[in-house]
Structure 1
Amino acid sequence: MRQYLKRYAQNFDYPLFFTFLLLSLFGLIMIYSSSMMIAIVREEQAPDYFYRKQVTNLTVAFLGFLVTAFFPYKHYANKTVMLLLTIVVAILFTWVKVAGNGADQVGSQSWITVPGFGNFQPSEYAKLFIILYFAAAFYRKAQKYTFEKLQPREIFYPIFLWILVVAGVAFETDVGAMIILCGIAVSVVASSGIPFKTFWKFFGVLGAFGTAILGILWLFKGELLTGNRKGRILSYLNPFEYEETSGHQVVNSYYAIGGGGLEGRGLGQSIQKLGYLPEPQTDFIMAIIMEELGIWGVFIVILGLGFIVYKGFSIALRTKDPLARMIAAGIASWIGWQTFINLGGVTGLIPLTGVTLPFISYGGTSIIILSLAMGILINVSMFEKVERKKAQS
């Protein structure tokens, strides 16, 4: 154990760790700044109400980070670990379907109440689950068949589980999480090393099943395009026409971005957080950052998140271990997709989906699951460095 810790300390990915830490602390500062009015007026609490809750979330998240950072990533391919991860996702999605909440507040039944913890969003766990399960399943099958001979029919179970997970998220009508789950699945498969033709066959299978899921929802449930979702699509096309209804958030996001200009109004000086922009501490926290800190705030966030995505793909390209490659590429693509969807919604580039900004937005489930993922990525990075040193010696 002592030898393992010594080797770990020598090969720890400090740049990746400090980027993750600085982004989380920067997010904590901006959560305090953006949520003061919401805390006082809506929650009838002290101005630092959301800040204190996020400090607790970060404490739990850091403990989780330490666990996954020291847990050897190769164990995720163990059948017992895969089974435990699957049982957890099954329990969470059954729970959210039977006793979930959020439909009345945001139009999406996406949260469960965990006694002693608070609200938990199963779709956040599902993102990490798909990465680990897909990577482990492909890795185990490749050891038996080799990637060159791997066919979609030989990986029926991960495809089937992916369908169930995406269907579960779709029935919550969490469109943003659905898009990210699809992007993650494609990224993990693309990085597995399977031949190009086989990849397109697999992609075709995923696309066919995904289309079938959407068709079933459209015909029998009618939940995918709720009134809230339809309003977001209409307001995306012309937000100012729907400024009093579904376009309210996007229009006020524009006002925040325009009001900040290049230099920003100054930390704590946002106008749009004073009741004009709903939930400024979650989905639209980037608009507040732009308003208060201007181009420098944008630079900090984009540079930090971009570095994490770059490091993830860089590790995936360097390592010779297929399992490490798929995990690293999956985590990098997850953070990349989620960042794009959030910023795209804030700036009006794409319709709003209710996706948070990684490491920056307020939210316990998001920061905890992302911290677990960062621990796994740093563990993969450490083993990749050891592998590279052995090859050079």
Structure 2
Amino acid sequence: MKHYFKNYFRNFDYGLLFVYILLMLFGLVMIYSASIWVSIVHFEKDPDHYYKRQLLNICMAFCLFLVAVVFPYKRFADKKILGILFAIMIFLEVALILVGNEVNGARSWIDFGVMNFQPSEFAKLFIIIYFSGTFYRKSIHKGSMQLLSFEDVTPPLGIWLFIVLVVGFETDLGALGIIVCIAMSVVIASGVKGKTLQKIFGLLSALGVIGAIGILIFKWDTVFNSSRRGRITSYLDPFSDPLDTGYHVINGYYAIGAGGLEGRGLGQSIQKLGYVPEPQTDFIMAIIAEELGIVGVSIVIFGLGFIVMRGLYVAMKTKDPLARMLAAGISTWIGIQTFINLGGLSGLIPLTGVTLPFISYGGTSILLLSVAMGILINVSTHYKLEKRK
């Protein structure tokens, strides 16, 4: 055991660890700066209210990260582990249906007293682990991933459909898009034959269309409420209604444009003073751009880009199918969520309310992303050990 840990930490992926810690601490500083006005004026709290809460979130998240780093990732193919995760997922989805709270037009939160928990965040990690573990277990019995049949992969797809429908009925469209992309990335990384892959994507497309139709039929008024219609209008032409639907988007542009190369200076943002919504979550990159300029934005983009590219590199190079699927799923999660957040902020896509990984304020997000990072570093370290052998 001593020899194992010596080799493990000798080959540890310290680059990913450094970037993970850097992004969390950078995000913590920016949350403090961005949330002062909101804390005092909107909620009549201390100026460091969000800072203290996020600091506690980070401490808990880092403990979970350490567990994920040393936990043998091969155990994610264990039937008992998968069963426990499945039971937790079902419990959260049922609880959401029965007692979920609506925030910003989406019924996506459960109040556990000590914290508000967002099941869709757990669903992202669950899909990665459950798909990867289940496919890997079946491949062991078959002898190879390429021998998996369409029938072998349909049970996980049924569970995926249930989660998609629940998240869809929450009308959390940003999370829904991420969950769909994660499932697709894990299936592609699994290494199943092309014909099987075509059948899977055909089924996913058919189920997606049926689910979308069902959501539109039963949730039309919620999906296309005034807030969401305003997001579409502001995406198409925010300057057509600058005092209403386009107000926040335009002020986000002002924040980005005002930063320039070096920014106004830390804490000197003007747009966080009530001009942009949720400056500590959805619009935190706009505040970073305004206060720290291109330098601050580059730290975030290059940091997140490094994590995504490193994860995809490991997924392409490792010979272990389970490691490949886990790395591909986690990289896709972080990459797609980053794109949706920054795309909405810059006007490439409509705003969806998705947070920026490791940077935005949020307990559920940082806890589960930290677990995902622990798994990714675990997989990357074992890839290094595999390569040395």
TM-score w.r.t. length of structure 1:
0.96
**C-alpha contact 2:128 2:330 (8 A) present in aligned 1:** yes
2:361 counterpart letter in structure 1: Y
1:12 counterpart letter in structure 2: F
Measured in 1, the distance between the counterparts of 2:109 and 2:312 equals: 31
Out of 174, 177, 183, which is 2:175 matched to?
177
Measured in 2, the distance between the counterparts of 1:199 and 1:231 equals: 38
Structure 1 equivalent of residue 29 of structure 2: 29
**C-alpha contact 1:33 1:267 (8 A) present in aligned 2:** yes
Gaps of 5+ in 1: none
Structure 2 equivalent of residue 80 of structure 1: 80
1:152-208 deviations in whole A, cap 9, x for unaligned?
222121000100111111111000001101111111111111123322221111111
How far does residue 228 in structure 1 lie from its aligned partner after superposition? 2.0
Measured in 2, the distance between the counterparts of 1:236 and 1:190 equals: 32
Out of 138, 141, 153, which is 1:141 matched to?
138
Measured in 2, the distance between the counterparts of 1:303 and 1:51 equals: 24
Out of 123, 128, 133, which is 1:126 matched to?
123
Measured in 2, the distance between the counterparts of 1:242 and 1:100 equals: 33
Out of 173, 192, 195, which is 2:193 matched to?
195
Pair 1:271-2:307 in alignment: no
How far does residue 227 in structure 1 lie from its aligned partner after superposition? 2.8
Give secondary structure in 2 for the equivalent of 1:377: helix
How far does residue 115 in structure 1 lie from its aligned partner after superposition? 2.7
1:32-71 matched pairs, under 5 angstroms = 32-71=32-71
How far does residue 225 in structure 1 lie from its aligned partner after superposition? 2.7
Measured in 2, the distance between the counterparts of 1:344 and 1:7 equals: 41
Structure 2 equivalent of residue 225 of structure 1: 224
How far does residue 382 in structure 1 lie from its aligned partner after superposition? 1.5
Structure 2 equivalent of residue 3 of structure 1: 3
**C-alpha contact 2:8 2:385 (8 A) present in aligned 1:** no
Measured in 2, the distance between the counterparts of 1:137 and 1:230 equals: 40
1:37-69 deviations in whole A, cap 9, x for unaligned?
001001111111100100000000000001111
Structure 1 equivalent of residue 91 of structure 2: 91
Measured in 2, the distance between the counterparts of 1:41 and 1:328 equals: 42
Give secondary structure in 2 for the equivalent of 1:110: strand
How far does residue 389 in structure 1 lie from its aligned partner after superposition? 1.3
Give secondary structure in 2 for the equivalent of 1:283: coil
Give secondary structure in 1 for the equivalent of 2:111: strand
1:104-150 deviations in whole A, cap 9, x for unaligned?
x400111111133x111110010000000111111112222333332
Tell me: CA distance 1:315–1:170, structure 2 relative to 1, closer, same or farther (3 Å). same
1:372-387 matched pairs, under 5 angstroms = 372-387=371-386
Give secondary structure in 2 for the equivalent of 1:109: strand
Give secondary structure in 2 for the equivalent of 1:350: coil
Pair 1:302-2:307 in alignment: no
Percent identity reads 56
**C-alpha contact 1:126 1:165 (8 A) present in aligned 2:** yes
**C-alpha contact 1:92 1:122 (8 A) present in aligned 2:** yes
TM-score w.r.t. length of structure 2:
0.97
Structure 1 equivalent of residue 320 of structure 2: 321
Measured in 2, the distance between the counterparts of 1:317 and 1:258 equals: 38
How far does residue 221 in structure 1 lie from its aligned partner after superposition? 3.0
**C-alpha contact 1:170 1:224 (8 A) present in aligned 2:** no
Once the two structures are overlaid, the 10-residue window that deviates more, 3-12 or 369-378, is 3-12
The number of equivalent residue pairs is 387
Measured in 1, the distance between the counterparts of 2:60 and 2:353 equals: 24
Measured in 2, the distance between the counterparts of 1:113 and 1:206 equals: 32
